[in-house]
Structure 1
Amino acid sequence: MAVRPEGTPCWADAMFDDADAAKRFYGDVLGWTFAEPDPRFGDYAQAYADGKAVAAVSPTMPGMEGGAGAWCLYLASPDLDATAQKVRDAGGEVLMGPMDVGDFGGMLLVRDPGGVVFGVWRAGTHQGFDAEAVPGAYCWAEVYTREAPAADTFFSRVFPYRVRHVEDTGGMDFNVYALGEDAVLGRMKMNAADFPPEVPSYLNVYFTVPDCDDAVARVTESGGRLHFGPVDTPFGRFASLGDPQGAAFSVIDITTTEGEMPKITDVS
């Protein structure tokens, strides 16, 4: 597999206080199977959909227990030191790294000026997702932030993104970040009506499912929560959810679509 262009989403993982419970939950909802945990890397365990690596889970690091779980999306970079400097120059914060992860690659953990935490990955032997946009695999992600203009400025300074505005979204402030002609990441402004002040800014990861309604039923039956949806869109039928340990994520059936594609115009 070719190394992904800079700024492309390339991997997702999450830490949980109860990693075994998380495996049972996502195995039921998304059909994942798991590799044996790797004790060299904090019992990190890759998740597979139809034999393809699509994500990973691990136990919470010692001393960090008690918080809600959260999915972390990684964006590709060929040079972690250069990306770390761009993050700082753009007003963000490097929380961890750059650090090597064996021969798998290298990583940064970063926070943007509005509080969105994400990872940066330099590929080694581990180049990222083995599959995308198929059942059980990553499909899309969106930056949810109250600091929308600051997010647009930050992400387009750190990565070679074109910022594009999506029109006709029912009053939502929604942009996409594009590499060339390809939109690779969304940006949603969090409004006070739908997002209480205690909900922090975050990166919402979408996983593909063959049937959105069935996936929602599996989530609620397994102790998770439905936050929004299901709803039909030109991109697919999706729902926003929370797992039993508090990690937010979304599911989308990209085969079930409704309506015309919105107009998208360049911002920068």
Structure 2
Amino acid sequence: MLTTRYVTGSPNWLDLGTPDLETATAFYGGLFGWEFRSAGPDAGGYGMFQLDGRTAAGGMTVPPEQGPPSWNIYFQSPDADATADAVRGGGGTVLFEPMDVFDLGRMAVFTDPSDILFGTWQPGRNKGLDVAAEPGSLCWLELYTPDQNDALAFYTGVFGWETSMMALPGGTGAYTMAHPAGEAAETMFAGVVPLSSDPTETGAYWLPYFEVPDCDASVAKAGELGGTVRMPPVELEGVGRFAKLADPTGARFAVIQGAQVAQENAEAA
């Protein structure tokens, strides 16, 4: 389970690159209750999406010529420079060399061997997101990749991840999950999914999931706010009810109503 007890290799930050920050702020504010707070005049327009005064994500304007609208995931490292070396050694690419962000921490941005974007955050004064696995915050990740084995070998080499497996309902296969090195399997934070196994996905990328109290209500609200439903709500036994969405500019994400909440809602209906 994703928590704010960050260790090496765990996701500790995410941010939105969007061509229209005002529209994004209105959308995610209406959907999750976030408020955008600028990081100040020296931060180049970067700011924080806050949930009840706690940082749930970062965000900034990214012109279309610099890249498509997207959510970007960062994993904790004790040494961003060493992580950059490991990325190169594993066949990835360093897009932005490690750099200090004031006294907040040190960051770098990469692509893996399948050209999937991700980053690393070496904490300084900023240890990472203030909230996780609560309604309106990041609770899970999925990596959609053309080669599951190669992806696992790469990220294991870079961050030391370990994996566990969960049988899918109906004997349809198994779901591979990652957790930080040396930690219990219960600290899993991501699934690694072959791109060919999911017809709703047309490109390799990291997909963030945000916890919501009611999946169907959130999907309806996203539509009202100008978002797109890429996959309608689906129930997965023991996991919960989830759906895949895109915001008004096309940034992809998912929402999930955890199994316990889904059961409580069903019993109350």
* TM-score normalised by the chain length of structure 2: 0.88
Q: What is the CA deviation profile of residues 107-127 of structure 1, one whole-angstrom value per residue up to 9, with x for unaligned ones?
A: 111111112111100011111
Q: What is the CA deviation profile of residues 221-261 of structure 1, one whole-angstrom value per residue up to 9, with x for unaligned ones?
A: 11111111311222221111111111000111124357xxx
1:225 touches 1:242 (CA, 8 Å); kept in 2? yes
Structure 1 letter corresponding to 2:225: S
Corresponding residue for 1:131? 131
* TM-score normalised by the chain length of structure 1: 0.88
Shifted more, 135-144 versus 29-38: the winner is 29-38
Structure 1 letter corresponding to 2:160: P
Query: Does 1:13 pair with 2:32?
Result: no
Query: Does 1:32 pair with 2:37?
Result: no
2:8 aligned counterpart, secondary structure: coil
Corresponding residue for 1:82? 82
Corresponding residue for 1:202? 205
Q: Point out the structure with the larger helix share.
A: 2
Aligned partners of 2:188, 2:4: CA distance in 1, in Å?
A: 19
Query: Does 1:237 pair with 2:238?
Result: no
1:172 touches 1:188 (CA, 8 Å); kept in 2? no
Change (3 A) 1:41 1:176: same
Change (3 A) 1:15 1:172: farther
Alpha-carbon distance, 1:50 to partner: 1.8
Alpha-carbon distance, 1:169 to partner: 5.2
Corresponding residue for 1:103? 103
Structure 2 letter corresponding to 1:251: V
Corresponding residue for 1:117? 117
Aligned pairs (5 A) from 1:1-268: 4-36=6-38, 38-60=40-62, 63-64=65-66, 67-168=67-168, 171=172, 174-179=175-180, 180-181=183-184, 182-191=187-196, 194-195=199-200, 199-233=202-236, 234-254=238-258, 255-257=260-262
1:57 aligned counterpart, secondary structure: strand
1:4 aligned counterpart, secondary structure: coil
Shifted more, 225-234 versus 242-251: the winner is 225-234
Q: Cα RMSD between the aligned structures?
A: 2.1
1:224 touches 1:241 (CA, 8 Å); kept in 2? yes
Alpha-carbon distance, 1:131 to partner: 1.1
1:3 touches 1:123 (CA, 8 Å); kept in 2? no
Change (3 A) 1:62 1:226: closer
Aligned partners of 2:229, 2:79: CA distance in 1, in Å?
A: 39
Aligned partners of 1:253, 1:184: CA distance in 2, in Å?
A: 16
Structure 2 letter corresponding to 1:253: Q
Structure 2 letter corresponding to 1:4: Y
Change (3 A) 1:118 1:244: same
Identify unmatched segments of 5+ residues in structure 1: 259-268
Corresponding residue for 2:267? none
Alpha-carbon distance, 1:34 to partner: 1.5
Q: What is the CA deviation profile of residues 180-215 of structure 1, one whole-angstrom value per residue up to 9, with x for unaligned ones?
A: 21212211111176057xx32100001111111111
Change (3 A) 1:14 1:178: same
